Amino acid sequence: MRLILVEKTTYSTVKESVYQILRGHGVNKVFGNPGSNELNFLKDFPEDFDYILCLHEGVAIGMAEGYAQATGLPGFVNLHAAAGTGNAMGALTNSVNSHAPLVVTAGQQARTMVYSDPLLKNSSAVMLPMPLVKDSYEPLSAQEVPHAISRALHLAMSPAKGPVYVSIPYDDWDQPIAHDALHLATRKVVHFGAPSLDELQPLLAALAKAANPVLVLGPEVDALRCNSKAALLADKLHAPVWIAPSAPRCPFPTNHHCFAGILPAGEASLAQKLHGHDLILVLGGPVFRYHQNDPGALLPENSQLFLVTGDAQEAARSPVGDAVVANVDAVLSCLIERMTERTGDCPNFRKPIQRVEVDHSQLESSAIFDIVDAIAPCNTVYLNEATSTIATLWERVGMEEPGSYYFAAAGGLGFAMPAALGVKLADPMRPVVAFIGDGSAHYSISSLWTAARYQIPVVFIIINNSGYGALKWFSQQFKIQNVPGIEIDGVDFIQLSEGYGIAAHRVSTRAEFSQVFDNAIVGNMPVLIEATIERV
């Protein structure tokens, strides 16, 4: 008689099964702010997992998004019922627009008592986070919970990536699993998106025929880490490269001679920047995400547009041009291989700028970015939520490597501070600097507590102009005067920071900022710098 050895499963409950599924996806961090409905999931927390406590649900989403974008792995979030979900939804507007792969879980009241409509029952759990998630689900039984989590992880990672929501009754976690759940931890879903040569022929023919092509790059290029391929294509075509408007990532090295800048977020002004180009190739971004009301033609006269994106929805809603739905990295590889390099010298499309001197004069935003660019290592990661300084940052800060820049994809404030912590957790070897406006800092100021609690060495730079500078700019554009609520006075960021346990410095001159930042960027602890500049 032969002896057959059967591997004994080490997990038998719903909770143990879910943690094993998470391990199979490379997930070992839980970002959250717990309540009573979540305690059963968190009890006897596994030693190989880290629980990152955030003092507000928006911070938990922001940290998880930064971590997910920087690693490419799913970010796992645990929220408290309907109230916690509601608090997180402002942050989810950014996550769904940035295509951040998140699995957002929330505790539901116990199945054994939901009939009585108890306190903390999430009455419309599936509907609550819509339409800010790819899918929303509440399992119909405890045995379905592992399957729901598995589906959520795979769906979050499928093109186009995005957040998925699962509501879980808290008495499900200790229930036994069904036998079929044992297979979930080792399941793999692989996505291929390489088009055939025939499918790319119209684009290849248009590029070969174009007299003056231009490239417009979106965040998918950086998410797929194919920035260098975009640079090779630009060199072959001798084409300028613009960044798509309202850019949440940096898909092209800003010190490259083909870099032309970031496009404005208005119809007429954008078309003017692209004037004279007969072919516009948009890679990995929307066509186009406008912001200010600037009516005009969508494209310059006599120009043709092609969009290449992995997001079928972006392709469908594009108001102009032809679209190819495919993996942007694969398309770039094909274009580089098939395109013949243009003859002649490639022009330098970068605009020269005059750098400021480090002296004892009053600090301004251009000086902040020049000093940071001069001191910070070339692999530094930047996050920006000083919205009135976006154009200045893109003009003056060099960003060479993939994953060097993150911005709130939907424009929702409260993103940069927690996302900076998530990015640093994802890539501890790269310095991380977050530029924050004095107005936007209050949306996620409790991020400082989490930074201190886990000693995450991020440099937070509060650019303090005593108000909402972006709103002041819009007021000027709209010719609106005497607008209330855009001035902010009397806030002491030094005391706030020190109260949360973070060392802080206030500076007002170029020389002061240079010295403090030089010390902060080489340190191994979180630091806040309040850089006071003149009011806008």
Does the structure show a pLDDT above 50 at 312? Answer: yes
The confidence score (pLDDT) of residue 104 equals 98
CA distance 203 to 324: 9
pLDDT digits (tens, 9 = 90+) for 292-306: 888 999 999 999 999
Q: Is the pLDDT of residue 47 over 50?
A: yes
Q: Residue 169 gets which letter from DSSP?
A: E
Residue 417's pLDDT is 98
pLDDT tens, 352-366? Answer: 888 989 999 999 999
Categorize the per-residue pLDDT at 174 as very low, low, confident or very high, splitting at 50, 70 and 90. Answer: very high
**If you search the block for the tokens 């005009």, which residue do you land on?**
296
pLDDT of residue 478: 57
Reply yes or no on whether the pLDDT at 469 is more than 60. Answer: no
Reported confidence tier of residue 346, pLDDT bands at 50, 70, 90: confident
pLDDT given for residue 457 in this prediction: 98
Task: Identify the structural domains of the chain with CATH numbers, from first to last.
Answer: 14-186 (3.40.50.970), 197-338 (3.40.50.1220), 365-532 (3.40.50.970)
Nearest Cα to Cα of residue 102 among 40, 36, 30, 174: 30
Are 283 and 216 spatial neighbours (Cβ–Cβ below 8 Å)?
Answer: yes
Model confidence over 212-238: pLDDT tens digits? 999 999 999 999 999 999 999 999 999
Q: Please give the structure tokens belonging to residue 56.
A: 């507000």
| Residue 4: pLDDT over 60 | no
Burial 157-182 (b: 16+ CB within 10 A, else e): bebbbbbbbbbbbbbbbebebeeebe
pLDDT tens-digit readout, 492-521: 999 999 999 999 999 999 999 999 999 999
Residue 451's pLDDT is what?
98
32 has which bridge partners?
53, 78
Residue 166 DSSP one-character state: E
- State residue 475's pLDDT score: 55
- Give the Cα separation of 307 and 325 in Å (integer): 8
3-state secondary structure of 323: strand
> What pLDDT is recorded for position 70?
97
Highest mean pLDDT among 181-185, 289-293, 369-373: 369-373
Range 162-180 average pLDDT: 93
Task: Give the number of other Cβ atoms within 10 Å of residue 95's Cβ.
Answer: 33
Structure tokens given for 324: 């190819």
The pLDDT assigned to 114 comes to: 85
Does residue 349 surpass a pLDDT of 90?
no
The backbone region for 478, taken as left when phi is positive above 0, alpha when psi lies in -120 to 50, beta otherwise, is alpha
State the pLDDT confidence band at 1, using cuts at 50, 70 and 90: very low
CA dist., res. 189 & res. 494, Å (int): 48
Helix (H, G, I), strand (E, B) or coil at 143: helix
- Mean pLDDT for 396-403 is 96
Q: Is the pLDDT of residue 2 over 70?
A: no
**Rounded mean pLDDT of 516-527?**
96
Report the pLDDT value the prediction gives residue 94, as an integer from 0 to 100: 96
pLDDT band at residue 482 under the 50/70/90 scheme: low
More confident residue, 202 or 483: 202
Tell me the C-alpha distance between 25 and 123, whole Å: 31
Structure tokens at 205: 């023919």
What mean pLDDT comes out for the span 40-69? Answer: 97
Instruction: Tell me how far apart the alpha carbons of residues 359 and 534 are, in angstroms, rounded to a whole number.
Output: 17
* Active-site residue list: 35-36, 38, 57, 80, 291, 411
pLDDT at 281 over 90: yes
Whether residue 6 is predicted with pLDDT greater than 50 in this model: the reply is no
Neighbours of 94 (CB within 10 A): 27
Mean pLDDT, the chain, whole residue set = 91
Q: In the predicted model, is pLDDT for residue 467 greater than 60?
A: no
Q: State the Cα–Cα distance between residues 26 and 68, nearest whole angstrom.
A: 11
Reported as a pLDDT band with limits 50, 70 and 90, residue 468 is low
Return the pLDDT at 5: 40
